[in-house]
Structure 1
């Protein structure tokens, strides 16, 4: 791969569909964003120097789909690693799950992905037979894939820049577009959101609010609506606030839901003194609530794994934890310690990330974020 992308090009987008140019920022905002971008790239450079096999060469030469996957996950993003059968997107060293699919299947699912999601950035690895690099696919419209290209000047997929005959069309800086057939000539692999990618094949992805209404969590605790915004915010989500009757001071739940009714993030907030009441070791009603919450809010794909890291509620379950293999036992015990005023616990799964932490006001926060 020849050249890095410029950081966070997608954040410069105005409307999700129209690609309008956003209002000019103040000099203060520009300075802040410039400093932030510089620090981000310096951090990436340090990672490349420390572990080039995982993150790529320090001089940016030879970047692979595996390098980009590791950079993303070290930034807190879990991405699916999809490669086209018979084509190389470079080394996938250290990537735990790599899926090879026929070219037409990948193209069909990319098209469905963007038709369903609208604007959504997907790193795509392309190679014309001579030069390879990364572009960000951001939409599909009028029969063309729209992308941004971090290469300075004309995109490397312009006709005079590649030997595959791809003729990228300028869509206004920094966006270009190519036909599906042209993308098929050069596409080697993509790194999409795992939950959204699953939905392109008709498989379950993120949990919907309708799923929660039918869950044991909702039935057992009689959740009540406590507020939230009716419309979408600038971040493409709406906020739903829930509580439990007679426990309003001890428990609240906040859901961030996207335009397709997927729960992007669910957070259970618990008053510390309710979980760990004075004179008692632990309130097991609180533990039961945590157990039901993390299962209900987790994508179906991750549910079996989440069930295994739930804090035990019986002596038999506690003994079972002791028999777990070390990585699983460590994950479960870190979860338990975080509930008991221990350090923050972060447990990554295939489609979601589970965290237990303390908020600024001292509440225990258990959250699941969809990837």
Structure 2
């Protein structure tokens, strides 16, 4: 299929739909943007108009202020945008995350954004969307990446808490999605005690609670109300940037943990000074990525932000047409 016949065209700003005159997850301000989810590498302020799920619009307002865009439109069902028809479908990545389906030029394209297929109690589960072209992320697009069961990682954390009751356990987790998922995993693992959170997580955790995500008893991780020694045996969650300051020194002999798919790479854990790596990811690993392509069976697979070459090679070996998009501006597993 010739690239010019495609409903979407890669441009420096991001994926562009000529039929609808909009961009998907553009990396710079545009007149009209469709946004898959609220992470900062996909959802930026300054667009003329934004269409996204209600939760993503709310999250963007929390992060950027109510005036993050001139006009906003909540996604709902199939919607006509210019000469294209668009719809949003759960991606299983973070609260409000969606795959965007575009029907235009006689073809169906599914843009996955970021997605995951493992159970995640903090957001809606991924749904398959039939398509002619599937645009997949490749954050962990190498055969070496096979994420363990998250409950196994939680058991490792709780065992450490029991083994070192005199120490605080500090978990680095990104403020949108990862922090709330770790909290829910802890609740599912039987941790009913209060969980202490850094102030940077408060607004987004409050929003999850308002949306019916039962995060339980969350308390501010501040030494203004509690003495340092009282944090012994407690679990504290903070954005990774907090560990680069003196903030972590407020707690008794802290065990530094970090929740990320990248914690399977020991060099990354050592680089961050992580004592307890927790391999917990909100992205598909290699088995789930390749399984998704196989199950959707698109005529073409487009690969973006990540290990594009390995996924392209796998597609070639499977006799599948695939194209690397080489889009810039997306982080590996950050905000």
TM-score relative to the length of structure 2: 0.29
Q: Which has the larger radius of gyration?
A: 1
Structure in which a larger fraction of residues adopt helix: 1
Relative contact order: is structure 1 or structure 2 higher (C-alpha 8 Å, sep ≥ 6)?
2
